[in-house]
Amino acid sequence: MIQLEISDKHQETYNNARMLAEHMMRPYSRKYDKAEHEYPKEMEEVAKLMAGSRDTSSEGKKPESESAAVKNSGNMGAVIGMQALAWGDLGLFMAIPGSGLGNAAINSVGTPEQRNKYANTYAAMCITEPGTGSDSANISTTAVREGGQWVINGEKIFVSDGERCDTLVVWATLDKSLGKAAIKSFIVEKGTPGCEVTRLEHKMGIRASDTASISFNDCRVSLNNILGSPEIATDEEGRKKAFGGVMQTFDNTRPLVAAMAVGIARAALDMAREMLAEEDIQLDFGKKPSNTSAIEAELYRMESEWEGARLLTLKAAWMADNGQANSKEASMCKAKAGRMGNYVTLRCVELCQSLGYSEAHLLEKFARDSKIVDIFEGTQQIQQLIVARQVLGKSSSELK
């Protein structure tokens, strides 16, 4: 039976992360929003405290033989903690050392040796290319085997944390003519000859987080740096499974991105309700709908949308913790939460009028930051397409 109740352990995770968000992230929100590309050194202390919290939470764990009984585990804890940190500041969260999406990829599909080696690194994800956005199957960056190395050539754009990270997870094709089945991901350490950051983007939101373009010119990495098998399936079913294995990364990271949207929408709702309370506009869930004002009714609707997105996100995380295929649910929560986050943050700005639009408060920043959550890790439209394929039983070639 599905368990979406927050355990005492995970409630403690949320409380600790929320405390960090409120006292060690919010005070620097405006500073690093204005100082785009300036390294937020204060986040190093947040990273240390987060690491200490993880070490403490590991004490008293059940023996390995009993771990199968755990229903709400690592994935659930991750989305709960993510929600709290995104409530603080999404851009600053993404600038915390060790919080890159590449870390999630290595932890999800890496070998025990890879996970151990890169456990303390700051890993970014390199997927998008100048000619390849939402269609991950159209990757043009190449990886060619030469002796005991992979030689990588290509260009990646919109790499979150691309300059500050020390490790990259790079998607590349072993043979472009073989389509999806030949796409693999590789671990590339920054500083490897042939790997170069070529540009930093100026952005509307999450300005505290750097977004880079990176080129790979005869960049050589060990054969052991491939995530998953280097073999290319020859039959159609094998090709589908091979690409599905690569895409499994998204099944783990999309609920995390959905949690970002849940967190930032909660931040906007909390701030808007606090500001509106000064005008004697407060929610009373005991009121009949016919007795509410237009603004109150809108706040009720937003709270309902928020709760729906939160529960979908928890469900996708619960399924991952219990070894259940959650590709559809991961896309569902990403689509729902991304859309909800955009709607709620912008509507809160509108409801608070000039104060919402002013830099005197962070509401306008929440609205700017929220837009990216509906875009990266697969756009709203792509998520809906994935869900439609799953519901209708169609392949990507049958339903485009």
Q: Which are the catalytic amino acids?
A: 377
- As a whole number of angstroms, the longest Cα–Cα distance in the chain is 75
Taking residue 39's Cβ as centre, other Cβ atoms within 10 Å add up to: 14
% helix, strand, coil for the chain, step of 5: 55, 15, 30
Q: CA–CA distance from 213 to each of 115, 156, 362, 394 (Å)?
A: 26, 6, 29, 35
Nearest to 39 by CA among 198, 213, 214, 208: 208
The helix-helix angle for 363-370 and 236-277 (nearest 10°) equals: 170
* Matching residue, tokens 């991952």: 320
Question: Strand, coil or helix: what is 301?
Answer: helix
The alpha carbon of residue 254 and the mean position of all alpha carbons in its chain are separated, in whole angstroms, by: 6
Provide the residue count of the chain.
400
Lookup: tokens for 197: 């950051």
